[in-house]
Chain A
Protein backbone atom coordinates (compact mmCIF):
# COMPACT_ATOMS: atom_id res chain seq x y z
CA UNK A 1 0.00 0.00 0.00
CA UNK A 2 0.87 3.69 -0.02
CA UNK A 3 3.22 5.14 2.58
CA UNK A 4 4.81 8.48 3.46
CA UNK A 5 8.01 8.90 5.45
CA UNK A 6 9.02 12.03 7.29
CA UNK A 7 12.41 11.44 8.82
CA UNK A 8 12.46 14.29 11.33
CA UNK A 9 10.12 14.20 14.27
CA UNK A 10 11.27 17.53 15.65
CA UNK A 11 13.19 20.37 14.08
CA UNK A 12 14.35 23.29 16.19
CA UNK A 13 16.01 26.31 14.66
CA UNK A 14 16.71 29.98 15.12
CA UNK A 15 14.63 32.61 13.41
CA UNK A 16 16.08 33.66 10.07
CA UNK A 17 17.76 30.35 9.30
CA UNK A 18 16.67 28.09 6.43
CA UNK A 19 14.54 25.05 7.07
CA UNK A 20 14.05 21.85 5.10
CA UNK A 21 11.66 19.08 6.00
CA UNK A 22 12.09 15.75 4.30
CA UNK A 23 9.30 13.75 2.72
CA UNK A 24 9.58 10.57 0.71
CA UNK A 25 6.77 8.33 -0.39
CA UNK A 26 5.88 4.98 -1.89
CA UNK A 27 2.95 4.43 -4.19
CA UNK A 28 2.17 2.35 -7.22
CA UNK A 29 0.27 5.17 -8.91
CA UNK A 30 0.68 8.68 -10.24
CA UNK A 31 -0.59 10.92 -7.53
CA UNK A 32 -0.85 14.19 -5.63
CA UNK A 33 1.56 15.13 -2.83
CA UNK A 34 0.60 17.65 -0.19
CA UNK A 35 2.10 19.57 2.69
CA UNK A 36 -0.35 20.46 5.43
CA UNK A 37 0.51 22.78 8.33
CA UNK A 38 -1.19 22.58 11.72
CA UNK A 39 -0.72 25.32 14.27
CA UNK A 40 -1.43 24.59 17.90
CA UNK A 41 -5.09 23.72 18.54
CA UNK A 42 -6.04 24.40 14.95
CA UNK A 43 -7.09 22.35 11.95
CA UNK A 44 -4.52 21.10 9.44
CA UNK A 45 -4.48 23.51 6.51
CA UNK A 46 -3.15 22.98 3.04
CA UNK A 47 0.22 24.62 2.47
CA UNK A 48 1.32 23.17 -0.88
CA UNK A 49 0.23 20.54 -3.34
CA UNK A 50 1.68 19.12 -6.53
CA UNK A 51 1.22 16.37 -9.04
CA UNK A 52 3.68 17.66 -11.64
CA UNK A 53 7.12 16.13 -11.80
CA UNK A 54 10.07 18.51 -11.36
CA UNK A 55 7.92 21.61 -10.99
CA UNK A 56 8.53 23.97 -8.04
CA UNK A 57 5.42 24.89 -6.07
CA UNK A 58 5.43 27.92 -3.76
CA UNK A 59 3.13 29.38 -1.15
CA UNK A 60 3.62 31.71 1.82
CA UNK A 61 7.39 31.63 1.45
CA UNK A 62 7.58 27.83 1.41
CA UNK A 63 8.43 25.80 -1.65
CA UNK A 64 8.63 22.17 -2.66
CA UNK A 65 9.41 20.26 -5.83
CA UNK A 66 7.95 16.86 -6.59
CA UNK A 67 10.65 14.50 -7.84
CA UNK A 68 9.07 11.28 -9.00
CA UNK A 69 12.43 9.71 -9.80
CA UNK A 70 13.38 9.82 -6.13
CA UNK A 71 9.82 9.77 -4.74
CA UNK A 72 10.45 12.93 -2.77
CA UNK A 73 8.61 16.15 -1.97
CA UNK A 74 10.80 18.05 0.50
CA UNK A 75 9.55 21.32 2.00
CA UNK A 76 11.88 24.30 2.20
CA UNK A 77 11.92 27.88 3.34
CA UNK A 78 14.89 30.21 3.08
CA UNK A 79 14.30 32.14 6.30
CA UNK A 80 12.19 30.74 9.13
CA UNK A 81 9.89 32.98 11.15
CA UNK A 82 8.55 32.54 14.66
CA UNK A 83 5.08 32.04 13.19
CA UNK A 84 6.33 28.99 11.28
CA UNK A 85 6.36 27.03 14.52
CA UNK A 86 3.81 24.29 13.84
CA UNK A 87 3.30 20.63 12.96
CA UNK A 88 3.89 19.83 9.29
CA UNK A 89 2.44 16.82 7.56
CA UNK A 90 3.39 15.42 4.22
CA UNK A 91 0.52 13.50 2.63
CA UNK A 92 -0.18 11.44 -0.43
CA UNK A 93 -3.36 10.99 -2.43
CA UNK A 94 -3.46 7.80 -4.40
CA UNK A 95 -4.95 7.16 -7.79
CA UNK A 96 -8.46 7.17 -6.37
CA UNK A 97 -9.01 10.65 -4.93
CA UNK A 98 -12.02 9.45 -2.97
CA UNK A 99 -9.78 7.42 -0.71
CA UNK A 100 -8.39 9.19 2.32
CA UNK A 101 -4.98 10.81 2.29
CA UNK A 102 -2.01 8.84 3.55
CA UNK A 103 -0.13 10.99 6.03
CA UNK A 104 3.40 10.87 7.31
CA UNK A 105 3.92 10.98 11.07
CA UNK A 106 4.52 14.71 10.99
CA UNK A 107 7.43 17.01 11.78
CA UNK A 108 7.13 19.52 14.57
CA UNK A 109 9.02 22.72 13.86
CA UNK A 110 9.96 25.06 16.68
CA UNK A 111 11.50 28.40 15.72
CA UNK A 112 13.25 30.37 18.45
CA UNK A 113 14.27 34.03 18.53
Chain B
Protein backbone atom coordinates (compact mmCIF):
# COMPACT_ATOMS: atom_id res chain seq x y z
CA UNK B 1 0.00 0.00 0.00
CA UNK B 2 1.70 3.19 -1.23
CA UNK B 3 1.96 5.75 1.50
CA UNK B 4 3.34 9.14 2.46
CA UNK B 5 3.56 9.74 6.19
CA UNK B 6 4.10 12.94 8.15
CA UNK B 7 5.09 13.53 11.74
CA UNK B 8 3.94 15.15 13.87
CA UNK B 9 0.36 15.73 12.76
CA UNK B 10 -0.10 18.70 15.07
CA UNK B 11 2.53 21.00 16.55
CA UNK B 12 2.44 24.16 18.62
CA UNK B 13 5.60 26.21 18.95
CA UNK B 14 6.54 29.63 20.25
CA UNK B 15 8.00 32.30 18.02
CA UNK B 16 11.76 31.89 17.78
CA UNK B 17 11.77 28.15 18.45
CA UNK B 18 13.13 25.68 15.92
CA UNK B 19 10.73 23.36 14.13
CA UNK B 20 11.36 20.02 12.46
CA UNK B 21 8.70 18.44 10.26
CA UNK B 22 9.31 14.91 9.04
CA UNK B 23 8.05 13.16 5.94
CA UNK B 24 8.47 9.56 4.86
CA UNK B 25 7.45 7.50 1.85
CA UNK B 26 7.63 3.80 1.15
CA UNK B 27 7.43 3.95 -2.64
CA UNK B 28 11.12 4.65 -3.44
CA UNK B 29 10.06 7.83 -5.19
CA UNK B 30 12.98 9.99 -6.22
CA UNK B 31 11.29 13.37 -6.02
CA UNK B 32 9.69 14.80 -2.92
CA UNK B 33 8.09 18.14 -2.16
CA UNK B 34 7.04 20.38 0.69
CA UNK B 35 3.97 22.61 0.29
CA UNK B 36 2.12 24.86 2.66
CA UNK B 37 -1.62 25.40 2.56
CA UNK B 38 -3.27 28.59 3.72
CA UNK B 39 -6.93 29.59 3.38
CA UNK B 40 -7.51 31.37 0.10
CA UNK B 41 -3.95 30.80 -1.09
CA UNK B 42 -4.10 27.19 -2.17
CA UNK B 43 -1.02 25.01 -2.02
CA UNK B 44 2.29 26.79 -2.37
CA UNK B 45 5.56 25.01 -3.13
CA UNK B 46 8.34 25.52 -0.60
CA UNK B 47 11.07 23.09 -1.64
CA UNK B 48 11.74 20.23 -4.04
CA UNK B 49 14.11 17.35 -3.50
CA UNK B 50 15.15 15.43 -6.61
CA UNK B 51 16.99 12.78 -4.59
CA UNK B 52 19.37 12.48 -1.63
CA UNK B 53 21.22 15.78 -1.08
CA UNK B 54 19.74 17.28 -4.27
CA UNK B 55 17.34 20.01 -3.26
CA UNK B 56 15.94 23.07 -4.97
CA UNK B 57 13.95 26.08 -3.84
CA UNK B 58 10.31 26.27 -4.74
CA UNK B 59 8.19 29.39 -4.93
CA UNK B 60 8.30 30.42 -1.25
CA UNK B 61 11.53 29.07 0.31
CA UNK B 62 12.30 32.03 2.56
CA UNK B 63 12.44 31.03 6.23
CA UNK B 64 12.71 27.32 5.47
CA UNK B 65 15.38 24.76 4.78
CA UNK B 66 15.26 21.08 4.01
CA UNK B 67 17.28 17.94 4.49
CA UNK B 68 17.22 14.66 2.61
CA UNK B 69 19.81 12.12 3.68
CA UNK B 70 17.83 9.03 2.72
CA UNK B 71 15.56 8.64 -0.30
CA UNK B 72 12.58 7.75 1.87
CA UNK B 73 12.86 10.71 4.28
CA UNK B 74 12.50 14.43 3.65
CA UNK B 75 12.60 16.99 6.46
CA UNK B 76 11.45 20.59 6.58
CA UNK B 77 13.21 22.82 9.09
CA UNK B 78 12.16 26.20 10.37
CA UNK B 79 14.99 27.94 12.17
CA UNK B 80 13.49 30.46 14.56
CA UNK B 81 9.84 30.06 13.63
CA UNK B 82 7.69 33.09 12.92
CA UNK B 83 3.98 33.57 13.53
CA UNK B 84 3.36 33.91 9.79
CA UNK B 85 4.61 30.35 9.36
CA UNK B 86 1.48 29.08 11.05
CA UNK B 87 0.01 26.85 8.38
CA UNK B 88 -0.73 23.32 7.29
CA UNK B 89 2.30 21.69 5.71
CA UNK B 90 2.01 18.90 3.17
CA UNK B 91 4.69 16.61 1.92
CA UNK B 92 4.33 14.90 -1.45
CA UNK B 93 6.30 12.44 -3.54
CA UNK B 94 6.43 11.56 -7.21
CA UNK B 95 7.58 8.55 -9.19
CA UNK B 96 10.06 9.37 -11.92
CA UNK B 97 8.48 9.48 -15.37
CA UNK B 98 5.04 10.30 -14.02
CA UNK B 99 3.52 13.67 -13.24
CA UNK B 100 1.17 12.62 -10.43
CA UNK B 101 2.10 13.49 -6.86
CA UNK B 102 1.06 11.58 -3.75
CA UNK B 103 0.39 13.64 -0.65
CA UNK B 104 0.86 12.96 3.03
CA UNK B 105 -1.83 13.75 5.64
CA UNK B 106 -0.34 17.10 6.59
CA UNK B 107 1.10 18.73 9.70
CA UNK B 108 -0.83 21.57 11.28
CA UNK B 109 1.75 23.96 12.74
CA UNK B 110 0.80 26.82 15.03
CA UNK B 111 3.46 29.36 15.95
CA UNK B 112 2.45 31.53 18.89
Contacts and interface: CB of A to CB of B under 8 A. Distances in A.
B97 A97 contact: yes
Interface string A40-62: 01111110010100000000000
Interface string A19-51: 000000000000110101000011111100101
B99 A89 contact: no
B31 A98 contact: yes
B5 to A, nearest CB: 10
Given A43-B90, A105-B42, A100 B48 contact: yes
A106 B42 contact: yes
A43 B105 contact: yes
Contacts of B97: 97
State the majority secondary structure of interface residues on B. Answer: strand
A32 B99 CA distance: 7
A8 B57 CA distance: 30
A83 interface: no
Interface residues of A, number: 24
Nearest to A42: B105
A105 to B, nearest CB: 4
A101 interface: yes
Interface stretch (B13-21, B33-41, B67-75, B78-86): B33-41
Contacts of A103: 42-44
B24 interface: no
A89 B42 contact: yes
Contacts of A46: 100, 102
Interface string A77-106: 000000000000100010001111101111
A44 B103 CA distance: 6
B99 A105 contact: no
Contacts of B59: 100
Contacts of A16: none
Interface of B: 4, 31, 33, 35, 40-45, 48, 50, 58-59, 90, 94, 97-106
